[in-house]
Amino acid sequence: MELNNFTQLNAQYSSGLMPDGRSCVVIVAKGSWAFPQCSGGEAILLDPESSLDIITADVSLGQPGFTPILYENDFARFKPHCDVIMHAHAYSLSNKPEVEVGLKVGSELDKRFRVYGPRQWIKSGWSLSLSKALPFEKQIIHYGLAYGGVDYSEFDSKGIAHTFVNNPLGVGYAPKTNVNDLDGKSAPQLEPLNQKITRFNQEIEPVSFGPISRNFKDRLALAGTYDEHWEREVSPFLPDDFKEAFYQCAPIDQRISHLCGGEEITLSNVMPEGEFSFVVPDTHIYVSAIKSGGNEQLLDVRADTLIIEPELRRFSVVWRASIPIEYYSTEINTIIVGQPTKAWRLARAKGKEFKVLNGGIR
């Protein structure tokens, strides 16, 4: 299969699986823009070499499975909504121990929460008290610092440790741990605006701007049922109750309609400037597939992932399309990303080789 890319985006394809069991080809395009020089300015499209790569395997902050996901595999077949992800630090311009951070996207997403400097549980008599947070200028934000985690002090009858299923990667969840063993242990540094930790083992909502892993409760419930019936009657295909929303890696409150372009992004206290804004550019691109018989099929392509990286002063958009394999694996001859030139179409019609150069988003 040949891929012709007429854009300044990175583009790749891979095999995929549809919910009904058919194989398909998944086409992904990805581009990055530099933040404007000043808030409210125009973002600048970066060349493919400076853009965020297309991710073919999950990338974690540290040890996979035990640390938060940074980038998830880009080759999901379909996302019903657009994932908005942000990898950020909180900036406390006055070197305070607490700051409120925010992410706003158009009229659909407005998320804010509190970020604290490092703080610990301190033994006080027979109980624990929360130490004062240390002042900070810059503090990383990720789910490893939000409420949650695994309590390894006791296991159930199946040998499984007690886990906070809404955020197994967090800190502070320890329902079975002896109070004496928690003296000096780290406490959560991220809190929702409507919840505040006042006592040990108080459960609160885990908050962050990054991706949620596949074993978070909100995603795991969509993966389907893998029981004896599935093993006997369905495997290796997806279970009947699998939902493609499982591919959404953003927290539920960071999922919006597919991007169209023109959405205004406003960031609060995740950059030295304090508040910073920019606009998502036009996100419409041409993607098609030419089958072995010569027929060209225009594909439904969606901009379904927005990744914001204030520390790198860039943001990235992922486009996705797919086409089912009807009969045999070689039935799709060519994938086209971006509007082809007349010269390319003429050369192809005459059976001549034509070198594709990066063009631009139409």
Q: What is the pLDDT of residue 268?
A: 97
Distance, in Å, from the CA atom of 13 to the CA atom of 243, rounded to the nearest integer, reads: 22
Burial 148-187 (b: 16+ CB within 10 A, else e): bbbbeeeeeeeeeebbbebbbbbbbbbeebebeebeeeeb
Region for 185 from its dihedrals, namely left if φ exceeds 0, alpha if ψ lies in -120 to 50, beta otherwise: beta
DSSP code string of 34-99: EPPSSTTS--EEPPGGGSPPPPSS-EESSSTTTS-EEE--S--S--SSEEEEE-EEEE-TT--SEE
Q: What is the pLDDT of residue 358?
A: 52
**Smallest Cα–Cα separation from 276: which of 89, 92, 41?**
41
Taking the alpha carbons at both ends of the chain, their separation in whole angstroms is 24
Q: What is the pLDDT of residue 241?
A: 92
Give the SS3 label for residue 19: coil
Residue 165 token pair: 């299923």
Distance, in Å, from the CA atom of 120 to the CA atom of 348, rounded to the nearest integer, reads: 66
Residue 201 token pair: 């083992």
Q: What is the 3-state composition of the chain as percent helix, strand, coil, each rounded to the nearest 5?
A: 10, 35, 55
Q: What is the pLDDT of residue 357?
A: 54
Q: What is the pLDDT of residue 297?
A: 92
**Residues 182-228: tens digit of each pLDDT:** 888 999 999 999 999 988 888 999 999 999 999 999 899 999 999 99
- Amino acid letter, residue 220: L
Q: What is the pLDDT of residue 249?
A: 96
Q: What is the pLDDT of residue 260?
A: 94
Q: What is the pLDDT of residue 140?
A: 97
**Residues 135-171: tens digit of each pLDDT:** 999 999 999 999 999 988 877 767 778 899 999 999 9
- Amino acid letter, residue 325: I
Q: What is the pLDDT of residue 360?
A: 42
Q: What is the pLDDT of residue 231?
A: 92
Q: What is the pLDDT of residue 154?
A: 78
Low-confidence ranges of the chain (pLDDT < 70): 157, 353-362
Q: What is the pLDDT of residue 9?
A: 95
